[in-house]
Each structure stands twice: as C-alpha cells, then as structure tokens.
C-alpha cells in the first residue's frame, strides 16, 4: 500500500514538474513575441513620422514610471539600493541602457525589423569575445564555431553580398552594431548586479537613469509638446506596456521555471517572430540569403548558451565525483 502511495506521489511530482517546465517555456515564448511585436510597432510609428528618439524617450520614461507604480504596490523593497551603488546604476542606465534603446530603434528605422533584431543578437558574441580577452575564458571548439557562424550570418543578414544594399543600409548597420555592443555591455554590467539585487530593481533603475539621459540629450518632455494622434499614442503605449514591462516580467517568470540558459535560447524566437509579424503587418521581406544568415546568427547564440550551460555544470560534476 505504501509503495502504491509513493508511486502516486512520484507520478504527481513528475507531472507537476512538467507543467512548471511548460509554463516556463510559454512565458518566455510570449515575451519573445511581445518584444518582436514592439519592434514592428516602432517601425509603423517611424513610417508615420514619429522619430526613433521620441519613441526611445517615451519608452524608457513611461516604462520606468509604470514599473515604479507596480513595484510601489507589490514590492516596495525593490527600490532599496546601497548609496555606493548609485554610480554603478548610473552607468548601467544612463550609458548602457540609454544607448541600447536609442541605437535599437534607430536601427529599426533604417533597416528591416528582423535584420535589426538579429544584429542586436550579436551581443552574446561580443560578451564571449570580451570574456575570452579580459576574463581569460578558454577558447573552445564550440565557441570558435559560434563566432564563425555569427560573423558569417551577420554578413548575410546585412546584405554584404549585395554592394548596393550594403550602401543603402550603412547607417542602419552601424546602429545595429552599436546596439549589439552596448547591449553586451549592459549584459555584463547587469550580470554583476544580479549578485546583489533582484531583476526588477536592476530593470527599474536602468530604465529610470536611461530616462534621465534622454531628457538631457533630447528636448526634455518633448512628448508633451508634440501633438501625436490617438493612434500614435496607442502605438507608443503599446511599446511601453507590451514591448517593455510585460515581456520582461514574463521572461523573469519563465526563468523561475526553467534554467536561464534555456530561457535565453527560447528567446531567440524573437527575430523569427519579428520577421513574420513585419511581413504580415508591414510587408517587409527578407531575401533568402538574409534568412540563411539569420539562421546562422541564431545557431551561434544557441551554441554559446549550450557552452555556458556545460561550463556551469562542470564544477558541479567534479564535486559529485569527489564525493
């Protein structure tokens, strides 16, 4: 009888674990689709005459304000940071986050949405290169293949095989590379903060300091003096809520159920989703070689994530053997 009860409880725990895993993947997939849709929404706004810098200023300002309201109700402790970390958060937000957001939307305004997002997905490659150069991480065969795949994919995504296309997208390509480099910097800085603060604290202060920067380098409260149409305001609010606060929340919820590595791999659905959404909503098309390049970039990111997972598991396996 006791054996039967144990089997029942064991079966229930397995089912519960599977349900939790499915939940995690669903949350991350929803986040990826929302991020992708915000890029398309931004492109539609640009075509309607809204500046990418206006969208950036509104996104970080309204996003930080909305997140502040949510945290004030649900988690007031998230506002607490140490005084000596104020300078750190200033660099994370006013420099890294501000540049990431501005260059991201600028790139989308110049080239295809999916191509812009794929360029930003080169960030893990830059992180890997930085780690190998300055943190003395070893260069494995997987990392070498990933780097080659990413560079080849980037060349195809930006249309390097077509000199005329390359000339047309020169500013967009530069913006995309800046977005990838600054996002890599934001990732490295954010990873350091994760040892002391919860993700919501990091995101709030990053957005808040980014909003401060964009009110200095761009006319302050510019959105209050410009007469946006009702449709444009709906698009801007969509980017703020559905493209910023909700997907970050869903992504963090997903990480609670599945490993961060698996969540990051699943999030590579973002550029794929962006391609489909931009095709149906804006009529944007990517050439066959560009799609091949996108596949190579995504494959490189997945390879690096698998390598990271193996590196994290190796010390645990060594400790187990010693026992």
Give dist(CA 223, CA 131) in Å, integer: 40
Of 123, 70, 99, 51, give the one whose Cα is nearest residue 270. Answer: 123
**pLDDT at residue 101, as a whole number:** 92
Write the pLDDT tens digit of every residue in 278-294: 888 888 887 888 888 88
Structural domain includes residue 157:
no
pLDDT given for residue 3 in this prediction: 54
Q: Which two tokens stand for residue 70?
A: 């949510």
What whole-number distance in Å separates Cα of residue 159 and Cα of residue 180? 18
DSSP letters along 205-256, please? HHHHHHHHHHHHHS-TTHHHHS---HHHHHHHHHHHIIIIIHHHHHHHHHHH
Q: Which residue has the tokens 């989308």?
A: 108
Would 155 be classed as within a structural domain? no
- Any domain includes 305: no
| Per-residue pLDDT at 273 | 82
Calpha distance 309→314 (Å, rounded):
9
Contact indicator for 59, 240 with CB cutoff of 8 Å = yes
Whats the size of the chain, residue-wise?
Answer: 323
The whole-number pLDDT of residue 253 equals 80
Give the C-alpha separation, 114 to 315, whole Å: 38
Q: Is residue 282 part of a domain?
A: yes
* Residue 28 domain flag: yes
Q: What range defines the domain where residue 220 resides? A: 21-138+169-291
Query: Per the domain annotation, does 258 fall within a domain?
Result: yes
User: Which pTM does this prediction carry?
Assistant: 0.79
- Both tokens of residue 129? 């290169």
Residue 161 is predicted with a pLDDT of 65
Q: Please give the helix or strand (H or E) that residue 301 lies within, else none.
A: helix 288-322
Domain contains 268: yes
List, for residues 136-184, the tens digit of each pLDDT value.
777 778 777 877 887 788 777 766 666 565 555 778 888 888 988 888 8
Q: Which of 190, 174, 185 is nearest to 252 (CA)?
A: 190
Contacts 24+ apart (CB under 8 A), 310-318: 312/261
Nearest C-alpha neighbor of 250 from the set 238, 267, 271, 237: 267
Total domains in the chain come to 1
SS3 state of residue 266: helix
315: in domain: no
Q: Are 24 and 256 in contact (CB under 8 A)?
A: yes
What pLDDT, on the 0 to 100 scale, is given for residue 318? 47
Phi/psi for 75 (5° steps) reads -155, 75
Number of Cβ within a 10 Å radius of residue 187:
17
Which pLDDT score is estimated for 121?
A: 77
Each residue's pLDDT expressed in tens, for the chain with a length of 323 residues: 555 554 555 555 666 667 777 888 888 889 888 988 998 999 999 999 999 999 999 999 999 999 999 999 988 998 999 999 999 999 999 999 999 999 999 999 988 888 888 888 777 778 777 777 776 777 778 777 877 887 788 777 766 666 565 555 778 888 888 988 888 888 778 777 777 888 888 889 999 999 999 999 999 998 888 889 999 999 999 999 999 888 888 887 887 777 655 666 677 778 878 888 888 888 888 788 888 888 888 888 788 777 766 666 555 444 444 44
> Within 137-225, where are the H helices?
141-157, 163-168, 170-193, 199-217, 222-225
At 110, phi and psi to the nearest 5? Answer: -105, -35
Q: Tokens 């501005």 sit at which residue?
A: 102
Query: Which residue from 16, 22, 34, 19 is spatially nearest to 250, judged by alpha carbons?
Result: 34
């Amino acid at each position: 009888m006791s054996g039967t009860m144990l089997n029942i409880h064991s079966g229930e725990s397995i089912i519960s674990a599977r349900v939790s895993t499915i939940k995690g993947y669903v949350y991350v997939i929803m986040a990826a689709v929302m991020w992708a849709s915000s890029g398309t929404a931004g492109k539609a706004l640009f075509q309607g005459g809204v500046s990418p810098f206006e969208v950036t200023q509104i996104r970080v300002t309204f996003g930080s304000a909305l997140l502040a309201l949510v945290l004030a109700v649900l988690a007031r402790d998230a506002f607490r940071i140490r005084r000596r970390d104020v300078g750190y958060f200033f660099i994370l937000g006013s420099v890294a986050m501000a540049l990431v957001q501005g260059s991201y939307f600028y790139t989308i305004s110049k080239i295809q949405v999916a191509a812009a997002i794929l360029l930003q997905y080169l960030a893990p490659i830059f992180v890997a290169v930085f780690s190998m150069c300055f943190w003395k991480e070893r260069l494995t065969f997987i990392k070498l293949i990933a780097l080659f795949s990413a560079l080849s994919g980037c060349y195809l995504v930006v249309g390097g095989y077509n000199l005329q296309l390359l000339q047309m997208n020169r500013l967009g390509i530069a913006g995309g590379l800046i977005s990838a480099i600054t996002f890599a910097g934001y990732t490295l800085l954010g990873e350091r903060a994760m040892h002391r603060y919860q993700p919501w604290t990091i995101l709030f202060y990053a957005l808040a300091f980014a909003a401060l920067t964009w009110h200095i380098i761009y006319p302050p409260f510019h959105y209050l003096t410009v007469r946006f149409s009702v449709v444009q305001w709906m698009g801007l609010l969509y980017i703020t809520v559905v493209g910023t606060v909700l997907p970050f929340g869903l992504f963090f919820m997903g990480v609670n159920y599945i490993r961060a590595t698996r969540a990051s791999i699943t999030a590579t659905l973002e550029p794929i989703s962006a391609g489909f959404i931009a095709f149906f909503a804006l009529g944007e098309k990517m050439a066959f070689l560009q799609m091949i390049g996108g596949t190579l970039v995504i494959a490189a990111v997945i390879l690096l994530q698998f390598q990271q997972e193996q590196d994290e598991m190796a010390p645990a396996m060594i400790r187990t053997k010693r026992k």
